Amino acid sequence: MSKLPIFESGAVWLVGAGPGDPGLLTLHAVNALKQADVIIYDALVNVEVLEWARPDAEQIKLGKRGGMPSPKQAEITAKLIGFAQAGKRVLRLKGGDPYMFGRGGEEALALAAANIPVRVIPGITAGIGGLAYAGIPVTHRDINQSVTFLTGHDHRGLTPGRIDWAAIAKGSGMIVMYMAVKHIGEIATALIAAGRPADDPVTVVKNATMPDMQVLETTLENAARDIAKSGIGSPAIISIGRGNLLRKDLT
Ligand code: SAH
């Protein structure tokens, strides 16, 4: 891996670890793990990927997790800045892709404001790679030419008020939702009220790409009931749209 970059002291690399299966790490992510002095990883990162780390690297689990007590974002950025200013090679490891609903942008901005060199290493996001493992292509010619990635709650834990449900119901062939299990009832109601067919296929994929991956197939009108009945919980991706029908031929 001679052409991969050298991790300079005092820098922070913001790295996506992918949705879980360690085989989905990038070469850049492995290169970062092999050099880092300090690894600060998110709640959703599969700890198996830490096997690539230097045995003497300091490993700190620190991340926000919906509905559970979690550190304040300011504490996380302060830690990253502190280690970098102490001359460490700091690896901030996040589930999926760091810029997809992962607060990576906030962390990168805080680091840039503190004049700390930052490198971003994208990862495979759960809403694409995770669905692929469940047999769902996020786009498919003749079915959907557009896909929308949505978060199911805002920073207060509520259904996001700023989402234009009517536009999405009509304009997005495939809707891929992160952090949406809790509010799926309200979301489905809003989408149906805005013209989305009540029988639109819905798939819920929990622990996508992991050996214990669980998949639930339902429809928009039955999603809340079926999710509650099955007990399927977080972390899960919920996809809404006719593209879900392909999974019968792809699994
Ligand atoms: N940056 C991450 C997303 C962070 S938000 C990414 O790009 O994938 C956290 C949400 O991501 C979870 O609530 C869930 O909706 C989704 N998620 C992350 N990993 C997942 C996995 N392995 N299986 C299913 N959903 C996952």
* Tens digits of residue pLDDT in 146-200: 999 999 987 777 777 788 999 999 999 999 999 999 999 999 999 999 999 999 9
Beta bridge partners of 38: 58, 90
pLDDT of residue 71: 73
Return the higher-pLDDT residue of 1 and 104. 104
Q: In angstroms, rounded to a whole number, what is the distance separating the alpha carbons of residues 74 and 71?
A: 8
pLDDT of residue 160: 77
pTM for this model (two decimals): 0.95
- Ligand 1 pocket test: which of 44, 65, 176, 182 has the largest number of ligand atoms within 8 Å of its C-beta? 44
Ligand 1 neighbourhood includes 84 CB (under 6 angstroms): no
Grade residue 2 by pLDDT with cuts at 50, 70 and 90. low
- Ligand 1 pocket test: which of 151, 204, 237 has the largest number of ligand atoms within 8 Å of its C-beta? 237
For the chain, which residues make up each domain, given as ranges? 12-124, 127-250
What is the tens place of the pLDDT at every residue in 67-87?
Answer: 556 678 888 999 999 999 999
pLDDT of residue 69: 60
Beta bridge partners of 39: 59, 91
Grade residue 1 by pLDDT with cuts at 50, 70 and 90. low
| Distance from the first to the final alpha carbon of the chain | 35
pLDDT of residue 221: 98
pLDDT of residue 96: 98
**Into which CATH architecture does domain 12-124 fall?**
3-Layer(aba) Sandwich (3.40)
Of ligand 1's atoms, which has the minimum distance to the CA of residue 238?
Answer: 15
Told to judge if 94 belongs to the known catalytic residues of this protein, a careful annotator would answer no
Query: What's the mean pLDDT in 127-140?
Result: 98
pLDDT of residue 62: 87
Beta pairing class for 201-206 and 174-178:
unpaired
Query: What's the mean pLDDT in 222-248?
Result: 97
CA dihedral 111, 114, 76, 37 (to 10 degrees): 70
Ligand 1 neighbourhood includes 18 CB (under 6 angstroms): no
pLDDT of residue 159: 78
| Number of other CB atoms surrounding residue 112 within 10 Å | 11
Task: Tell me how far the alpha carbon of residue 123 is from its chain's centroid.
Answer: 9
Query: Residue 22 pLDDT more than 90?
Result: yes
pLDDT of residue 161: 78
pLDDT of residue 27: 98
Ligand 1 neighbourhood includes 126 CB (under 6 angstroms): yes
Give domain 127-250's CATH superfamily. Answer: Tetrapyrrole methylase, C-terminal domain (3.30.950.10)
Topology agreement, domain 12-124 and domain 127-250: no
